[in-house]
């Protein structure tokens, strides 16, 4: 089985396994105690903090360990907003942030705060100008990921940090995806990360708060981790996280170059060998090892099952997942196809032979799913010189498939009205139009669902 979902969780690094096992015998005691076992535990915790701070590029007393990357995000945002409540109650986030950031923003807004969501380009990147335009006199905090978790696009953190610094607004950076590859550049104020993204154990997160940043920890007071992370420290896991971060950093330059070559191979081969496919995300400014593409007329979850049977573990940003049945907010913000979306994220050490085998299997898997999901004959009728396609009750990608089947039945300049009650159609039909060089006119109300109007250009 080839595991190609390192962006979700990287396999445990051998150094992390060794450090975890070694520290189980020494790091079990309370590091706050002064007896011998406590002192040993404290030495391990302090050494791990110093090593991690060096890798991050901060002072050891600016960094605390949390129970997860999500907890670090929640605590970081809540503490920064509370610390600057006299400035105002305005928060800025990008439209493609991790759900942990967006959930924090929802809670803040529900409590009376205001949130500005910065749009992204079709590549998934923000611009510094968009953050500058979103800043207000009452802005308490801005948030920006260092790189996107679904498409791998790197964000201009240094430029955005400079804009925020000039305005006196702290910037919180979610560095979960990128920290294993290197430090986050720029004059950021807070940073979060998660160890299982770089091959450390799960259940260890990082929260860095620079000196001088106003920060008020929320929740009951706890004496551990400077009062910013409650609960007994999991010292063996923290030690393993720090050891694995140093190990992957030592290998990062060579491995990044190798994985970039493999992802370039995927990008080129997929575009050549799979019809009606779009590779999404920035072509150049992206993380090593991550490549994402969308296939027209394919259900993402079905394609993942097909690839799983072929021996490949990949993930998807598809809308029709069993857990949510809603479009990926990242793909929606980018304006790209949400159906048939595949994310390949290669863990360090992935053999080139496994990538080549994946590229040999993929075209057949896509073709099989397209045949399996072959749409029924669309129900069409001409009303006022407009071809109406009734796709009510049919989940995407069926509405898009039916649109593609009848686009040739109208003359150039003619219009098609697609009726659909699937939320994903609101994203997928405009994306299809852009991919196939047709004009998306807009959405109109309908008796059931919505009507999506398309004009044939070619």
Q: Which residues are part of the catalytic machinery?
A: 320
**CA-only gyration radius of the chain, Å:** 24
With H, G, I as helix, E, B as strand and everything else as coil, classify residue 156: coil
Contact 86, 100 (CB under 8 A): no
CA 322, chain centre distance (Å):
19
Q: Helices 14-24 and 235-273: crossing angle, nearest 10°?
A: 170
Residue 185 is given by DSSP the state: P
- Assess whether the previous peptide bond of 397 is cis (omega < 30° from 0): yes
With H, G, I as helix, E, B as strand and everything else as coil, classify residue 401: helix
> How would you class 309 by CB atoms within 10 Å of its CB: exposed for 0-12, middle for 13-18, buried for 19 or more?
exposed
Contact 185, 84 (CB under 8 A): no
Judged by phi (left if over 0) then psi (alpha if -120 to 50, else beta), residue 225 lies in left
SS3 sequence of 258-313: HHHHHHHHHHHHHHHHCCCEEEECCCCCECCCEEEEEECCCCHHHHHHHHHHCCEE
Enumerate the β-bridge partners of residue 190: 172, 209
- Assess whether the previous peptide bond of 145 is cis (omega < 30° from 0): no
Query: What is the spatial distance between Cα 302 and Cα 194, in angstroms, rounded to a whole number?
Result: 30
User: Residue 259 contacts by C-beta under 8 Å, 6 or more apart in sequence?
Assistant: 288, 289, 346, 348, 350
Query: What is the spatial distance between Cα 343 and Cα 364, in angstroms, rounded to a whole number?
Result: 17
Both tokens assigned to 55? 């890798």
Q: How many of the other CB atoms lie within 10 Å of CB of 385?
A: 9
Both tokens assigned to 405? 């089947």
């Amino acid at each position: 089985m080839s595991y190609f979902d390192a962006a979700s969780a990287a396999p445990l690094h051998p150094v992390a396994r060794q450090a975890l096992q070694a520290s189980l015998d020494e790091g079990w005691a309370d590091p706050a105690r002064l007896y011998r076992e406590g002192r040993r535990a404290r030495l391990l915790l302090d050494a791990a903090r110093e090593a991690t701070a060096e890798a991050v590029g901060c002072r050891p007393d600016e960094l605390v360990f949390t129970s997860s990357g999500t907890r670090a995000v929640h605590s970081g945002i809540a503490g920064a907003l509370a610390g600057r409540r006299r400035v105002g109650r305005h928060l800025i986030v990008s439209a493609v942030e991790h759900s942990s950031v967006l959930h924090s923003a929802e809670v803040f807004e529900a409590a009376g705060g205001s949130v500005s969501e910065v749009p992204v380009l079709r590549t998934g990147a923000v611009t510094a100008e968009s953050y500058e335009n979103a800043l207000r006199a009452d802005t308490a905090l801005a948030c920006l990921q260092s790189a996107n978790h679904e498409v791998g696009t790197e964000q201009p953190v240094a430029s955005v940090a400079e804009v925020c610094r000039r305005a006196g607004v702290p910037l919180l950076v979610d560095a979960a995806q990128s920290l294993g590859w290197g430090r986050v550049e720029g004059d950021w104020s807070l940073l979060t990360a998660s160890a299982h993204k770089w091959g450390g154990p799960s259940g260890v997160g990082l929260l860095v708060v620079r000196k001088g940043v106003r920060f008020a920890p929320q929740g009951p007071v706890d004496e551990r981790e400077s009062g910013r992370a409650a609960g007994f420290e999991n010292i063996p896991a923290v030690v393993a996280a720090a050891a694995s971060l140093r190990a992957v950093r030592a290998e990062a330059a060579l491995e990044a170059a190798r994985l970039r070559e493999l992802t370039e191979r995927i990008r080129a081969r997929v575009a050549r060998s799979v019809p009606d496919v779009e590779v999404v995300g920035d072509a150049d400014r992206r993380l090593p090892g991550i490549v994402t593409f969308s296939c027209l007329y394919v259900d993402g979850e079905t394609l993942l099952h097909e690839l799983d049977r072929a021996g490949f573990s990949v993930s998807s940003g598809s809308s029709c997942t069993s857990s949510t049945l809603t479009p990926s907010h990242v793909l929606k913000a980018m304006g790209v196809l949400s159906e048939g979306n595949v994310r390949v994220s290669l863990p360090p050490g992935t053999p080139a032979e496994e990538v080549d085998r994946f590229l040999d299997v993929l075209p057949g898997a896509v073709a099989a799913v397209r045949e399996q999901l072959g749409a029924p004959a669309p129900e069409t009728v001409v009303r006022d010189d407009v071809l109406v396609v009734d796709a009510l009750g049919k989940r995407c990608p069926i509405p898009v498939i039916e649109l593609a089947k009848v686009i040739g039945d109208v003359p150039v300049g003619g219009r098609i009205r697609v009726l659909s009650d699937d939320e994903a159609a609101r994203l997928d039909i405009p994306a299809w139009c852009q991919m196939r060089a047709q004009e998306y006119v807009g959405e109109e109300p309908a008796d059931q669902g919505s009507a999506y109007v398309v004009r044939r250009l070619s």
